[in-house]
Homo-oligomer: A and B are copies of this chain.
């Protein structure tokens, strides 16, 4: 087991060559985690793959978990930025079919970015790396935005908007995760989107 060390970087790179070192380490780490999973990765291997000495790696990261944490943070920030852009300007008048379809497409697109890395992150990461709430802020904020939209939606189901938003968000996230990483037999991309959007919309607009 990784001796528990912190997740925060040890020192910030100030010169451009050290910024490049950090960059190349993260790049190599992504490859190593993707190809060997969490347990197959170790700091020596990452350093070698990066073409950097093990000492240099430890200048910036206290250990393997810290590298993974940095990768996850970057991955998730990218993902939520992607979704935010895709949904910009939509749903002002509340949640409708157009919005839900866009939401499904955006979430699906997000899961299609770096899918192998995504798998390692969400299926093999030890709780110590995953727990920090900072990683979840984006998700929480997105759920809040969805709840606000539901508030403006005419013909909403009876349950409170916060609960409906969470229910929808979690369902959608999990379905996309599964579809991208394992597929759902009999459903192609279009079919998946149709079924998902239809199910969620019927749920949201029930009553």
Contact = CB atoms under 8 A, between A and B. Distances in A.
A134 interface: no
A88 interface: no
Nearest to A204: B199
Contacts of A185: 162-163, 166
A35 B195 CA distance: 39
Contacts of A77: none
A187 interface: yes
Contacts of A184: 163, 166-167, 170
Interface residues of A, number: 34
A127 interface: yes
Given A1-B39, A2-B39, A186 B160 contact: yes
Interface stretch (A6-14, A68-76, A95-103, A171-179): A171-179
Given A39-B1, A126-B39, A187 B203 contact: no
A190 interface: no
Contacts of A170: 175, 178, 184
Interface string A38-61: 111000000000000000000000
Contacts of A159: 191, 195
A2 B1 CA distance: 11
24 contacts: A1-B39, A1-B40, A38-B39, A38-B126, A123-B123, A124-B126, A159-B191, A159-B195, A162-B185, A163-B186, A163-B187, A163-B191, A163-B195, A167-B195, A167-B199, A170-B178, A171-B174, A171-B199, A174-B174, A174-B178, A198-B203, A199-B203, A202-B206, A203-B203
